[in-house]
A and B are shown apart, each in its own frame.
Chain A
Amino acid sequence: MTEREIQELYRVNKEEKEEESNALTQMVQDFANRDTFPTCLIEKVRDEEDKIIGYTIDFISFFYTAQPVSAFPNIIVRVNNREFKPDALALIVDGQMIPMKTAKTIHSIWVGFGQINQIFIDARAIEEGFLKEENKVSVTFELRMTMAKFMPFPPLTVKKIMKAG
């Protein structure tokens, strides 16, 4: 078989075995639902003067290997039905804050398997009183496949009720 034929095999598998392809997506979805948000807390981040500068949500990548940050080119965050613009978001990986708009270019910082990272929401995007004791949080992760160019992966959305800490 040639490489083209192998790529075709993946394509045909996806088209002719749609049920199985859906099963694969559902399998990862179930895995993500289980593990992505280990704390289900929205926590305040304060500066040296004790001023709130933002909020964080702990997350664990649902992919089965470590991946460079650029493997997550877009993360859409909704809290209580409000979608936050990328300008208001950042990823925190091993204490390093990466603005969402530039995360898709970062290949030297990696998100480890089972590693706890944070989604950061700028405080300027959240007015006083917006966060309730319990909040509806929905996060959609777009995943760019880094192993090969012919293995697309559909975006995954994980929804949880999270307490504001």
Chain B
Amino acid sequence: MKIGVSIYSYGGDLHCRKMTVHDCIKHAASVGCDGVELISDQHFPDWPHTSPVVFKEMRKFIEGLGLKVSCFSTYLLYALRYNRPQTRAEVVQEALKQITMANLLGAEFIRPIHLADTKQDLISIMKECVPALQDNNIKWVQEVHSPFPPDYFNEVLDAVNSPLVRLLPDFSLWQTQGMPSEYSSMDVSTFEQLMPYVAYCHGKAHVFNEKGEEPNTPYQKLIQILKDHKYAGYVTAEYEGWMMREADSKQIVKTHTDLIKKYVN
């Protein structure tokens, strides 16, 4: 199993400009992880008009630290324009652009979030992107996050029926407390049912106790399920408590990755 750090975890210190994206990546490297996840909208200047040069330089910087880009997380906006929803063709064009950016970045996975009108829309968008995923050697991981039911996207993945389109479960699905209105408290057994689809995981966290545990998220049980299934992909630390309270990002990321390592190893 591989351990990742989402640079999203440093959001509080990035937002108030205490740290730069490069500072965060260097710190992630220092805590001992295999890869870093970057968020289009948070970590790239001039988004969505970022220069291709920026992606190539970012890749060089990250690989120079001995890390990989585990995932490029993006958003496909449904209501970009004020007067009409995006058309399916516009969304596909944006997705293809983002897949190309992910390739320049050297990412293994791309996570585009799209809250489409219907699952059929999502299926057709994904199907149109499969050839580009193949050309760019990238997998699309569909994130399933509370309050959606864990199996919400299974039928979408079945319909697309491609090894290049897989699932990214976020541990918020099994949190007993997290972001207000955004935790599901699902039984851990529901994770088992997702395993045939899973290619990447977000180890979500909002708070840590004095023992370094996330008291509202069953990390030990979830990671045990991954081990039972001989999962070899990433569990990426994604701390979100910075929206709720001020915290020292560096200390939090160290605590979080230590927690994941404790159960993975």
A66 is contacted by which of B42, B83, B113 (Cβ under 8 Å)? Answer: B42
Q: A9-B147, A13-B147, A144-B82 given as contacts; is B181 within 8 A of A114 (CB)?
A: no
Are B181's CB and A13's CB within 8 A? yes
If A3-B117, A110-B47 touch, whether A148 touches B15 (CB-CB below 8 Å) is: no
Contact bitstring B54-82, A, C-beta under 8 A = 1, else 0 = 00000000000000000000010111111
Q: Mark B100-117, 1 if CB is under 8 A from A, else 0.
A: 000000000000010101
Bitwise interface map of B from 8 to 49 toward A, beta carbon under 8 Å scored 1, else 0: 000100111100000000000000000000011111011111
What chain B residues lie within 8 Å of A30 (beta carbons)? 244
Taking the closest CB of chain B, its distance from the CB of A144, in whole angstroms, is: 7
Whether the Cβ atoms of B75 and A114 lie closer than 8 Å is no
Count contacts on B: residues with CB < 8 A to the other chain.
Answer: 40
Is B148 among interface residues, defined by CB-CB distance under 8 A? yes
Show the binding face of A for B, using Cβ within 8 Å. 1, 3, 6, 9-10, 13-14, 17, 20-21, 23-24, 27-28, 30-31, 34-35, 38, 60, 64-66, 68, 70, 73, 94, 104-105, 107, 110, 112-114, 144-149
Name, among A35, A60, A113, A144, the residue most crowded by chain B CB atoms within 10 Å (CB to CB): A113
Contact A21 B181 (CB under 8 A): yes
Check B42–A113 contact: CB distance below 8 A: yes
- Determine if B131 is an interface residue (Cβ-Cβ < 8 Å): no
Cα distance A70–B147 when bound, in Å?
27
Q: Are A6's CB and B79's CB within 8 A?
A: no
Residues from chain A with a CB closer than 8 A to the CB of B244 are 27, 30
The residue from B15, B40, B49, B243 contacting A60, defined by CB atoms under 8 A apart: B15
